[in-house]
């Protein structure tokens, strides 16, 4: 046997002067990286993913997890991670799995965009004293309105009254432009879903079910749920479709463009199996393509079928991952009777993705929003669909910038999970999330307190909403629709001419 | 900043341009001498049914070539009935551009779409011909403007030689773009003439909205975008003027939520459909139209059949007044009193309410 030639990534250190040998750390670690042996705590550094559960729960603050300084010979190309990947594949002959979003050091364009603010001639607006409107409607709008005029007699006088002739398609009404994107039951726990459902209801917004169906316990949140139809069609039946306020067809996902999904059998518990309508313990495979969609016409047909199945009462969204020709695809979607196009950038999270996809496929969401908004406007289709942006939205400034670049609203995923306790350790695919979020193991799921997690998620959305109001006020804008596509309020900094052009931004100072 | 004063006679009486010049000059402190302008309606009775196209052409040796390029585009769809240099007194300000006017008739075969064609030609000339810029394109009206003080512009264009039933004027204090002749107000397209005090913070959204309908914003001023929005919503989408204003300065959601069902549905539909047209930021706008004088910060006055609109939280001043058949609108009451000391009624239009003045039958 060839021993591992790469040192463990993390190092767990126990301060034995502080440790009282309570064994809590060993109980908390689902990865068996810490064990208690009589009068000693023993650590297994190579199993540690740095999820920090043990350190957080230690009553004596006796645990430290650091990046292992003993990395062997330093090499600029053959980093420990690169060598570890080679070793893992040399051992297994398999595709490498990973969790969370793209972990490579690509530029984050959001951080090279600065916002504009008011000074003398356009006074800033104080959201505490003046109305600040964040209400957003997601769905198709007509290009123009038509009215008919009827003469009525009121108190003996003939009055001409106008009546709206144009029919407005069903739209989702959002009190804040922040929704929680699709993370399936199976990939994450029921407690996580329940907490997020409570949060979005409180905030007047929506969450996606992901492709894992909708657990009956969430039926009471129907008015705030977007159901998803992915290639695996897990849990999809007419009852499921009617239990949401909108339906989303998932074609692609930012973390893994061009491929489907895979929920390992060990995550398919009895409840997950019932909700997904698949046998317990079986792998749930979503194929890369939908086997009834091989063209934009096929997609249009599915959009209409889903509308027909729900009596044309629900808006239908189509989610695609951000790739280089995303604008053309989005424009095709806009002409397919779909009501919104969801674009998921390559920093988007995931429960499990082949590492090579997660880190190398797709494009940043910022440029995708810009390209899609431009193309839809050029083709006269912008009113036909809303744009929902997702994939790496980290704070309210990212939301603000996304909308100014052209989005109607955003989906957050990882941020909501972090609010619930996720430490972005990236081992969601292992099913042993020590924080009870990305796991189905009953003892771990129990660790997530639903009410507390719901409070934290709604606090997060509420706090960002406050911040967006302040940012709008600073920009002299009192309704979110005047921010949509308002790239004039943004400037690029540290970007080259081509990048500025792709984003549709002027350089700071101009 | 920026000074606005306009008036109209609801009976259509013709009033000489020196009146408006006198009033605007009293607002010179609201400008900084980098832009002043006037528009008179009813000033070309001899050519009332022709388009009066006012063009700035760079005062350089290239003048003949630029002018012939403009003519080439105009002649594509109709005939130039008459053209001449707009008479000016060039001892007052430096003649940076030669102001030329064409009285123009569209070929009959374009009768159904002649206004669309005019808009198309204005945009084509303004975006493609270097050194030419159409700043007025309506019938029986004309804009006179330059980068100078109000009295200088009035003298330069010999405003006292014109008579009109409606006049709007503007003294500019530019803060967005540098002061130049084209950036001065009014901005005109067909019958729409816009003068504006303020800064539209939604400019980026509005610009991209109108551009998706084929307009091109070349002047980088928010005034231009307002004219295009009016043209799109009123002329092309045929919305009643009340709804146009309702789209540009929509009611707050909290007010809409409390309306009766029918009204709520209309207001909701307007906000959802015309979200890209909604204007934000501080503004007080006066718009001349072929229907009459429309102004922001107004109120509904059924007696006079007038409507207007505001920037929702009224961050810019506007005052209206009446005397007999005259209706005045200005950023300051003093400017109105200077030319009409005795007034029947003076009022400060409320934020977010509409007013339109129309001619008496």
- Name every chain B residue with its beta carbon within 8 A of the beta carbon of A486: 202-205, 208
What residues does each domain of chain B span? 3-43+140-358, 44-139
Share of chain B above pLDDT 90, in %: 63
* pLDDT confidence band for A71 (50 / 70 / 90): confident
Res B118: pLDDT: 95
**B164 membership: H or E segment, kind and range:** strand B163-164
pTM > 0.90: yes
Residue B272 is nearest to which of A121, A125, A171, comparing CB atoms? A171
Average pLDDT, chain B: 88
Residue A484 is nearest to which of B201, B205, B269, comparing CB atoms? B205
Query: Are the beta carbons of B281 and A476 separated by less than 8 Å?
Result: yes
Region of poorest pLDDT, from A419-423, B12-16, B30-34: B30-34
For A410, half-sphere exposure in the C-beta direction (CA atoms, 13 angstrom radius) is 35
On whether the B3-43+140-358 domain is CATH 3.40.50.360, my answer is no
At B260-306, the pLDDT tens digits run 999 999 999 999 999 999 999 888 888 888 766 555 443 333 332 33
Phi, psi at A257, each rounded to 5°? -60, 140
At A120-157, the pLDDT tens digits run 888 899 999 999 999 999 999 999 999 988 877 878 88
Partnered with residue A172 across adjacent β-strands are A138
Residues of B with CB under 8 A from a CB of A: 1, 175, 198-199, 201-205, 207-209, 211-213, 237-240, 243, 250, 252-254, 262, 265-266, 268-276, 278-282, 312-313, 315
- CATH topology for the B44-139 domain: Alpha-Beta Plaits (3.30.70)
Residue whose C-alpha is closest to residue A106's, from A388, A411, A358: A358
Q: Report CA torsion sign: B128, B290, B287, B31.
A: positive
Query: Are the beta carbons of A476 and B282 separated by less than 8 Å?
Result: yes
Residue A168 is nearest to which of B243, B269, B313, comparing CB atoms? B269
pLDDT at B361 over 80: no
Res B10: pLDDT: 86
At A29-61, the pLDDT tens digits run 999 999 998 889 999 999 999 999 999 999 999
Length of chain A: 510
Res B11: pLDDT: 87
- Name every chain A residue with its beta carbon within 8 A of the beta carbon of B212: 377-378, 380, 382
At A235-286, the pLDDT tens digits run 999 999 999 999 999 999 999 999 998 888 888 999 999 999 999 999 998 9
Share of chain B above pLDDT 70, in %: 92
pLDDT at A167 over 90: yes
Å between B54 CA and nearest CA of chain A:
30
Round to whole Å and give the CA distance between A78 and A75. Answer: 5
Q: Give the mean model confidence (pLDDT) for residues B4-18.
A: 91
User: In this structure, are strands A409-412 and A490-492 parallel, antiparallel, or unpaired?
Assistant: unpaired
Structure tokens at A294: 């091989």
Contact status, residue A248 vs residue A183, Cβ threshold 8 Å: no
Q: Is B32 helix (H, G, I), strand (E, B) or coil?
A: coil
A326-334 and A296-309 helices, crossing angle to 10°: 40
Order of all β-strands in the sheet with B132-136: B78-85, B97-106, B51-58, B132-136
Which of B275, B311, B315, B351 should one mutate to test binding to chain A, selecting the residue with the greatest count of A CBs within 10 A?
B275
Contact status, residue A68 vs residue A9, Cβ threshold 8 Å: yes
Instruction: Classify residue A214 by its DSSP letter.
Output: -
Round to whole Å and give the CA distance between B196 and B352. Answer: 16
């Amino acid at each position: 046997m060839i021993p591992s030639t790469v040192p463990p990534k993390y190092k767990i250190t126990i301060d034995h002067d502080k440790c009282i040998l309570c064994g809590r750390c060993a109980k908390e670690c689902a990865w068996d990286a810490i064990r208690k042996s009589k009068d000693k705590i023993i650590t297994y550094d190579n199993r540690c993913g740095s999820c920090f559960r043990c350190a957080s729960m230690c009553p004596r603050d006796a645990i430290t997890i650091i990046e292992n300084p003993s990395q062997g010979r330093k090499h600029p190309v053959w980093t420990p991670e690169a060598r570890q990947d080679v070793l893992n594949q040399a051992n297994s002959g398999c595709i490498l799995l990973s969790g969370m979003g793209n972990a490579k050091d690509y530029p984050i364009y959001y951080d090279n965009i600065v916002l504009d603010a008011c000074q003398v001639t356009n006074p800033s607006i104080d959201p505490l004293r003046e109305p600040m409107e964040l209400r957003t409607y997601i769905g198709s709008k007509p290009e123009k309105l038509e009215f008919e005029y009827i003469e009525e007699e009121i108190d003996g006088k003939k009055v001409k009254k106008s009546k709206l002739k144009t029919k407005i398609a069903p739209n989702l009404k959002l009190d804040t432009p922040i929704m929680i994107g699709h993370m399936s039951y199976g990939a994450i726990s029921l407690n996580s879903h329940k907490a997020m459902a409570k949060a979005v209801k409180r905030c007047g917004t929506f969450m996606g079910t992901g492709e894992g169906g909708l657990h009956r316990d969430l039926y009471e949140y129907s008015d705030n749920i977007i159901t998803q139809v992915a290639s695996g069609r897990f849990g999809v039946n007419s009852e499921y479709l009617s239990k949401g306020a909108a339906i989303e067809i998932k074609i692609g996902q930012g973390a893994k463009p061009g491929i489907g999904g895979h929920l390992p059998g060990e995550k398919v518990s009895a409840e997950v199996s019932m909700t997904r309508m698949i046998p317990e313990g079986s792998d749930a495979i979503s194929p890369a393509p939908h086997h009834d969609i091989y063209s934009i016409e096929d997609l249009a047909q599915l959009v209409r079928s889903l509308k027909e199945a729900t009596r044309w009462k629900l808006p239908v969204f189509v989610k695609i991952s951000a790739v280089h020709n995303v604008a053309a695809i989005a424009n095709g979607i806009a002409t397919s009777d779909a009501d919104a196009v969801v674009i998921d950038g390559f920093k988007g999270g995931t429960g499990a993705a082949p590492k090579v996809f997660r880190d190398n496929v797709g494009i940043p969401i910022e440029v995708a929003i810009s390209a899609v908004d431009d193309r839809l406007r050029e083709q006269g289709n912008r009113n036909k669909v809303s744009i929902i942006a997702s994939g790496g939205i980290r704070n309210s400034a990212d939301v603000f910038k996304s909308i100014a670049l052209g989005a109607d609203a955003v989906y957050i995923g990882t941020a909501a999970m972090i609010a619930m306790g996720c430490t972005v350790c990236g081992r969601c695919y292992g099913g042993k999330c020590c924080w009870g979020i990305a796991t189905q193991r009953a003892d771990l799921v129990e660790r997530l307190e639903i009410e507390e997690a719901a409070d934290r998620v709604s606090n997060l959305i509420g706090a960002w909403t406050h911040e967006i109001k302040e940012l709008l006020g600073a920009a002299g804008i009192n309704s979110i629709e005047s921010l949509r596509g308002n790239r004039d309020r943004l400037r690029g900094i540290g970007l080259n001419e081509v990048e500025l052009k792709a984003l549709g931004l002027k350089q700071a100072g101009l | 900043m920026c000074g606005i004063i306009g008036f109209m006679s609801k009976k259509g009486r013709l009033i000489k341009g020196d009146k408006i010049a006198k009033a605007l000059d009293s607002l010179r402190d609201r400008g900084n001498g980098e832009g002043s302008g006037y528009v008179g309606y009813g000033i070309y009775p001899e050519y009332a049914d022709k388009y009066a196209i006012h063009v700035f052409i760079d005062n350089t040796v290239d003048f003949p070539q630029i002018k012939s390029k403009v003519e080439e585009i105009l002649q594509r769809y109709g005939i130039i009935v008459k053209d001449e240099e707009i008479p000016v007194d060039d001892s007052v300000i430096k003649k940076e551009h030669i102001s030329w006017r064409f009285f123009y008739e569209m070929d009959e075969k374009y009768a159904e779409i002649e206004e669309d064609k005019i808009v198309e030609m204005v945009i084509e000339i303004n975006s493609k011909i270097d050194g030419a810029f159409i700043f007025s394109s309506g019938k029986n009206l004309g804009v006179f403007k330059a980068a100078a003080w109000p009295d200088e512009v009035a003298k330069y264009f010999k405003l006292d030689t014109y008579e009109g039933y409606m006049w709007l004027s503007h003294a500019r204090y530019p803060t967005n773009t540098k002061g130049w002749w084209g950036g001065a107000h009014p901005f005109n397209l067909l019958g729409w003439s816009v003068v504006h005090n303020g800064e539209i913070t939604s400019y980026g959204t509005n610009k991209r909205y109108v551009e998706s309908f084929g307009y091109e914003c070349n002047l980088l001023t928010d005034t231009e975008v307002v004219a295009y929005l009016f043209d799109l919503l009123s002329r092309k989408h045929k919305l009643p003027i009340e709804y146009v204003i309702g789209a540009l300065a929509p009611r707050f959601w909290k007010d809409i939520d409390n309306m009766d069902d029918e009204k709520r549905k209309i207001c909701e539909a307007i906000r959802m459909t015309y979200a890209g047209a909604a204007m934000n930021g501080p503004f007080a706008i006066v718009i001349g139209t072929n229907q009459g004088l429309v102004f922001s910060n107004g109120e509904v006055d059924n007696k006079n059949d007038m409507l207007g609109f505001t920037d929702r939280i009224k961050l810019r001043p506007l005052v209206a007044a009446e005397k007999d058949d005259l209706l005045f609108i200005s950023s300051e009451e003093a400017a109105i009193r200077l030319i009409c000391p005795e007034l029947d009624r003076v009022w400060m239009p409320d934020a977010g309410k509409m007013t339109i003045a129309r001619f008496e039958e």
